[in-house]
Amino acid sequence: MSDALTAPAADAAGARPGEPIIRFRDVTKVFRTGSEVRAVDGVTLDVLAGEVFGVIGYSGAGKSTLVRLVNALETATSGTIEVDGTTVTDLPEARLRPVRARIGMIFQQFNLLGSRTVAGNVAYPLRVAGWPRARREARVAELLEFVGIADKARSYPSRLSGGQKQRVGIARALAADPRILLADEATSALDPETTQDVLALLRRVNRELGVTVVIITHEMDVVRTTCDRVAVMEHGKVVETGDVYDVFANPRQPVTRRFVETALRDRPGPDVVARLRTRHPGRMVVVGVDEQTGSSARVTQTLRTHGVDGTIVYGGITEVASRPYGSLTFELVGDGDRIARVVAELESYTDVVDLGTAEEPRDDASSEEVVR
């Protein structure tokens, strides 16, 4: 795979890395089709240049509408949206064109033209923009190389797998050197392995080309592996936003907690705790493991210092935003006082849920809070 694709030249007037490239200010979108739907409700949000930003929410939360406001596929009912220095709200169609040229978009259903070859699909926006043939062909060749399907240039979309179709979609979206790529559920129609390949490609688009990527998804795993920051939407509102790692470590809203639980299955739920107690009668503790507070080496050291044996009976450590995160559930075996000292020491530096013993259960898992 070639790295030959050149990064888009930073516009002198455009946002520099770390500066807001998309700014929503108190944006509302109301659809009036019989009844009134506030698809987006008072959203204020910045997406920063150079980041991969995730927007997560359940179906109907308003994610697609929010993102379609960016390239003015929808018009806001109130509020303002600024894209790379230009206020797009209420901009006439002719003046939207240069703004849209800087925004690429990919879709769940790929939206390829079935009557054109792969090369024809990627060339299409360049043809519309009036690029001469030779320049167009050179650009298409380097784009197909970049996304890893140069050998499919003459194939028709119907002959491609879902992952290959999405690569064509990405190549087409990148054709005119956008500064922003909007990905609306771009991996939702793909199997898990292909999903990972396409997400890795989106990360390359971000890192190697410097394109700001906005990913809409209902899967927290996509956020966990791919995004730098995330906004959680519910009923048209952004209810929580922050660095992905922080949101995973400290989800504030119930909806965020539910999403986090779907991506981290490291903590035993009530049913699992009940089963664990039948096999492990000793004192069980769930110990948070992360980079800053409780590395697994430090936890092991604590057990060793106090001469307590710990058997791992449940748990898992995964990566959140490329950093270790998870929990381990131990059954601690040994002298009661020593175990108490271990628990106290663990509690001094990391998050601990003390489940007690089978005979004397504590923090019982009947409470959902045990989970997180």
Ligand X SMILES: Nc1ncnc2c1ncn2[C@@H]1O[C@H](COP(=O)(O)OP(=O)(O)OP(=O)(O)O)[C@@H](O)[C@H]1O
DSSP annotation of 8 reads: P
Q: Are 198 and 34 in contact (CB under 8 A)?
A: no
SS3 for 243?
strand
Q: Which of 360, 370, 325 lies closest to 339 in space, CA to CA?
A: 360
**Which position among 42, 60, 210, 334 is part of the footprint of ligand X (CB under 6 A)?**
60
Q: Which two tokens stand for residue 289?
A: 């493991």
How many residues of this chain bind ligand X (CB under 6 A)? 13
Window 163-182: contact mask with ligand X (x via CB under 6 A): --------------------
By CB under 6 A, tell whether 63 contacts ligand X: yes
Between 34 and 130, CB nearer to ligand X: 34
Across the chain, how many H-helices and E-strands are there? 12, 14
From the CB of 103, what's the least distance to ligand X, in Å?
A: 17
At 212, the amino acid letter reads T
Ranges within 69-98 binding ligand X (CB under 6 A): none
Dihedral sign from CA coordinates of 129, 135, 137, 142: negative
By beta-carbon proximity to ligand X, the closer residue of 121 and 217 is 217
Q: Which positions from 23 to 42 touch ligand X by CB under 6 A, shown as an x/- string?
A: --------x-x---x-x---
How far apart are the C-alpha atoms of 302 and 309, rounded to whole Å?
Answer: 10
- What's the min distance (Å) between Cβ of 225 and ligand X? 19
Alpha carbons 156 and 152: distance in angstroms, whole number? 8
Shortest distance, CB of residue 65 to ligand X, whole angstroms? 3
Q: How far is the CB of 8 from ligand X (least distance, A)?
A: 27
Binding flags for ligand X, 215-254, as an x/- string (CB under 6 A)? ---x------------------------------------
Which letter, b or e, does each residue of 191-201 get, where b requires 16 or more Cβ atoms within 10 Å of its Cβ?
A: eeebbbebbeb
CB of 59 to ligand X, least distance (A): 3
Q: Smallest Cα–Cα separation from 146: which of 242, 283, 6, 23?
A: 6
Candidates 24, 27, 49, 64: give the one binding ligand X (CB under 6 A).
64
> Minimal distance in Å, beta carbon 129 to ligand X?
28
Residues near ligand X (CB under 6 A) are 31, 33, 37, 39, 57, 59-65, 218
